[in-house]
Amino acid sequence: MKRPLALALITGAWMASSVTAGAQTAAQPSAPSAPEGNSQHILSSQELDMLRKDIRSQKKQLMAQNLRLTDAQATKFWPVYDQYTAELVKINNKKYATIQQFADRFGTLTDDEAMSLIQQWLSVDSQVAQLRSKYLPIVAQAIGGKQAATWAQLDRRLQMMIDLQLGARVPLVQSQ
């Protein structure tokens, strides 16, 4: 069990970084340039949209590969997972809007704006954890406690990988 998950997580990280690299290459000509003196590339809205679509697809594939479900469990789980994902997308819309605001204002952020944006981002992180907690008993009812715990672990790990990829693309505020 450890090997397939490790392999999937490594593959997922590689795929996410490939998507990020591809998105950067594809969208760079139309992306706004970073302020002079700043060599860091800020994500464009096109890049964010492409990254989000690919991440959702890859996340579901990795979940399917690592959450070993019987046919009966799968029949109950996937509609719940899709509902969870729909709610997660709404929360993540706030995260990506915050990232876009940061990108749009990069180079001119005031202290108050920087604090407001990071507080919005932290609020989204909290909302994601609350959503996962909300769905844990629902998933457990569909597929059992051990499988639900495994789902929560996988979802959290995949979310951390996504956040790592995003974090690597968003420059530190002090570098503006």
What is the token pair recorded at 7? 């392999």
* Residue from 18, 15, 42 nearest 30 by CA: 42
Question: What is the separation of C-alpha 53 from the centre of its chain, rounded to a whole number of angstroms?
Answer: 10
Read out DSSP for 46-60?
A: HHHHHHHHHHHHHHH
pTM: 0.71
Dist. CA 25–CA 164, nearest whole Å: 20
For residue 43, what pLDDT is reported? Answer: 62
pLDDT digits (tens, 9 = 90+) for 11-57: 454 444 433 333 333 333 333 333 343 444 566 667 766 666 677 77
User: What is the C-alpha to C-alpha distance for residues 153 and 20, in angstroms, rounded to an integer?
Assistant: 24
